[in-house]
Amino acid sequence: MSDPRKSAYEAAKLAKRLRRLAGQAIADFSLIGEGDRVMVCLSGGKDSHALLDVLLSLKEKSPVDFELIAVNLDQKQPGFPARVLPEYLEARGVPYRIVEQDTYSVVKRVIPEGKTMCSLCSRLRRGVLYRVAGELGATRIALGHHRDDILATFFLNLFHGGKLKAMPAKLVSDDGRHTVIRPLAYVAEDDLAAYAAAKRFPVIPCNLCGSQENLQRRAIGQMLADWEKRHPGRIESILRALTDVQPSHLLDRKLFDFVNLKPAARVVPLRVEEPLFADA
């Protein structure tokens, strides 16, 4: 039987770690500033629940004044529990907006049965959320992607796309109108799962794809988990590498001017009058 005091201590320690890591990401990438209105995209999954909860905690003690508003996109999936999130947000006193748009039917109509639906679903959601952000006057759009999402995306692009590319902690949308932030960029997925369980968030799984999973992303996730099990600390090492890129030691001519790379001074040959090394 578990010790309630020990469980409470571990939960408090976990909450503190999440706040610290999120606060560090916010500071490192200037994710939230004075007067920002942050639209937190709340899907109902563990990650977005944790994101909202951590931002609420940080807001209470932050020297920076900013607003939070939660936004959920009801995609009209069959059996979606529409009242769960409104009741939860109302109980916590969080301003929110529920957006209803039937992207479910679009995805099911366009994507053949058995194919991965995540890409199209994500694009449709993004378009809706950008529109809503404009309507709400949001200056930041906060997403719940975490450290493991970023690393999985990096390896997917490396192995299958031929690119050194991941998810940035902060980006501006293609039309230049919106700033997207990922405050959980330094947070491990396992910590988010434990946090969601400890806080008993009303998690709503995504049933759009049924039991379908992105097999390539799943394989990358398993690879990372195996590495971490056999070589503890490797995940953090890879994450640090993404923050310390040296273009001169890669092969991208767009990032570094190899063509015009020359020594700073002319090399003068050394004139040797005596042998450099004489026999003893």
Q: Dump pLDDT digits (tens) for 150-191.
A: 999 999 999 999 999 999 999 999 889 999 999 999 999 999
Residue 111, in any domain of the structure: yes
Number of domains in the chain: 1
Residue 90, in any domain of the structure: yes
Q: Would you state the pLDDT for residue 210?
A: 47
Measured between alpha carbons, how far is 126 from 99 in angstroms, rounded to an integer?
A: 13
Q: Would you state the pLDDT for residue 192?
A: 97
- Give the domain CATH number at 119: 3.40.50.620
Residue 115, in any domain of the structure: yes
**pTM value > 0.85:** yes
Q: Would you state the pLDDT for residue 276?
A: 57
Measured between alpha carbons, how far is 148 from 143 in angstroms, rounded to an integer?
A: 14
Residue 242, in any domain of the structure: no
Question: What token pair was written down for 69?
Answer: 């508003």
Q: For residue 247, give every residue at least 6 positions away whose Cβ sits within 8 Å of its Cβ, in sequence order, or none.
A: 255, 256
Residue 261, in any domain of the structure: no
Strands (DSSP E) found in 58-100: 67-74, 96-100
Residue 56, in any domain of the structure: yes
CA atoms within 13 A on the CB side of 93: 2
Helix (H) or strand (E) holding 37: strand 37-41
Q: Are 169 and 146 in contact (CB under 8 A)?
A: no
pLDDT < 70 stretches in the chain: 1-2, 114-118, 120, 206-214, 267, 270, 272-280
Question: What token pair was written down for 117?
Answer: 């639906």
Q: Which domain holds residue 106?
A: 4-213
13-46: pLDDT as tens digits: 999 999 999 999 999 999 999 999 999 999 999 9
Q: Would you state the pLDDT for residue 114?
A: 63
